[in-house]
Chains A and B, each alone.
Chain A
Amino acid sequence: MPSHPNVIDPAFTGEVQRESEQNLALCYQCGNCTAGCPVSFAYDYTVNQIMRLVQAGRKREALSSHAIWLCASCETCTTRCPNDIDVARVMDALRHMARREDMVSEKAVGAFWKSFLDSVEKHGRVYELGLMAAYAGRTGRMFTDVDLAPMALRKGKLGLKAHDIEKIAEIRGIFDRYREQQQ
């Protein structure tokens, strides 16, 4: 477990509640989310512990956890929550906040998503080869998945050319106006 000081931020619970649009007070720690979560084995905090940290206002521990980045968005927790809390959406909200606060613990996951969205902004669609190159450059992980490249190329599963959409200006406009709104 990470050893951050247990600083309590009373406003944090409300912020997560607003961002996720979920009533976090409904969580009574039954542990159904954790029981069903397929990635629990790799987490530093289990899902119900993350929910508890949020309820208790322990912002730093929640936002700097590895768990929120390893969540695969499989929606099993949301499906099985007896109180209908969209737990996967809470995990989404925590990732949004962690990025804004520059507290991303799984740097490689953050880098992969950034590379993915850059590719969308540039081409309008994901250009898989360009995405892998950008990710390798950003993380220094130059050999990520190169073992798969010969097979992927032979099977024509890794396009060598980007498929730019015609009205790429519309996508760039979306990203530009989105960034303006965030300021």
Chain B
Amino acid sequence: MSPRYAYYPGCSGLGSSLEYDTSTRAMCESLGVELVDIPDWNCCGSTPAHAVDHLLSACLAGRNLEIADGMAEERKLDGIITPCPSCLKNLKTTQRSLSDPEFRRKVEQVLGKPLRAGLPIKSVLQVVVEDLGVEALGRLVKTPLAGMRVVPYYGCIMVRPPRLMRFDDPENPMALDNLLRELGAEVLPFALKTDCCGAALGTVRKDVVARLSGRILDAAVEAGADAIVTACPLCQMNLDMRRPQINRANRSRHNLPVFYYSQLAGLASGQGEAATMMDKLCVSPRLLLNSLAQHTGERA
């Protein structure tokens, strides 16, 4: 029987990372993973909630866990999955905190209902890599990303903290490396694969994001990459949409595109540029996609 998960898209999936949400759904469908949206889901509170109060954070995340619990049996759900690492960290932190009975009592009081929160919670990436195996994605490849040199950028919290996330190696994760290789790309070693991009400080402290994201772009170019590939909406936004701010602050002229891994999975499996929403990227991947098409044409 095909796996079936409660799906938590996260707020950015409705706006700034629409292409991530859309290509993730398409990837899951082609892999036979059924997604059941958590009905009427709400924001997990993200960084602001846990930085303001752990109880508030747990209550906002907890409402979603409670809704998923409610349909788990009837829909035979295997767990809850989300593409966003920040949502993932909040959902998993909440589940862990509920093991303290006193804390659970407070959360249930604020929610006004009991909470089970027993379903496993994973990232979409973890399900693809660990449960299905990257080979499953490899079998769907029609036009390999041959000749495309990429660096995988995981961001900080897809694999951290390790005792909470329980996925891959916290210092040198390989999930994206292996996945992208399976799609036919040339994956380059990247020392900054888990270094922070500046995260939520983009709006308030541009100097911090310009420096941290700038370092990642410098290192990617130095490694000889044509593109950066990520799995985090906030990392992608900082590296892509904030590129003019970063280039201005650092007097750099970086122009390499930043894809979501799910977009490249779609492209390699023949979904095309429109379906994978390549036009949503702020730094245009046009030249790279043209040369990829040429490369594929030559081989055919």
Binding site for B on A (CB under 8 A): 38-39, 41-42, 70, 72-76, 78-79, 86, 88, 92, 95-96, 99, 106, 108-109, 112-114, 116-117, 120, 124-126, 128, 132, 135, 144-145, 147-148, 151-152, 155-159, 163, 165-167, 170-171, 173-175, 177-178, 181-182
Contact = CB atoms under 8 A, between A and B. Distances in A.
A108 B43 CA distance: 22
B10 to A, nearest CB: 9
A76 B195 CA distance: 9
B106 A181 contact: yes
Interface stretch (B132-140, B203-211, B250-258, B285-293): B203-211
Interface stretch (B27-35, B68-76, B142-150, B237-245): B237-245
Nearest to A117: B48
Contact of B42 (A76, A120, A148): A120
B141 interface: no
B208 A113 contact: no
A178 B109 CA distance: 9
A124 B42 CA distance: 5
A42 B16 contact: no
A78 B89 CA distance: 14
Nearest to B194: A76
A174 B161 contact: no
A106 B43 CA distance: 25
Q: Which of A95, A124, A166 lies at the interface centre, i.e. has the most chain B CB atoms within 10 A of its CB? A: A124
Contacts of A174: 59-60, 63, 110-111
A137 to B, nearest CB: 14
B52 to A, nearest CB: 6
7 contacts: A73-B47, A75-B156, A95-B52, A96-B51, A106-B204, A125-B43, A148-B242
Contacts of A147: 244-245
B46 A39 contact: no
Q: Which 5 A-B pairs have the closest CB atoms?
A: A113-B48, A74-B156, A74-B196, A75-B160, A116-B48
B170 A79 contact: yes
A57 to B, nearest CB: 23
Interface residues of B, number: 59
Contacts of A95: 51-52
B161 A75 contact: yes
A143 B200 CA distance: 18
Contacts of B280: 155-157
A92 B51 contact: yes
A73 B14 contact: no
B15 A117 contact: no
Interface in B96-145: 106, 109-112
Contact of B200 (A72, A75, A158, A165): A72
Contact of A144 (B203, B242, B279): B203
A73 B199 contact: yes
A38 B195 contact: yes
A120 B43 contact: yes
B56 interface: yes
A134 to B, nearest CB: 12
Nearest to B111: A174
Contact of B14 (A92, A125, A145): A125
B199 A79 contact: no
B204 A112 contact: yes
A113 B59 contact: no
Given A135-B203, A174-B59, A74 B157 contact: yes
Q: Which of B46, B51, B171 lies at the interface centre, i.e. has the most chain A CB atoms within 10 A of its CB? A: B51
A56 B292 CA distance: 59
A72 B48 CA distance: 11
A2 to B, nearest CB: 18
A124 B106 CA distance: 21
A39 B211 CA distance: 9
Contacts of A177: 109-110, 112
A104 B157 CA distance: 26
B18 interface: yes
A6 B204 CA distance: 30
B51 A73 contact: yes
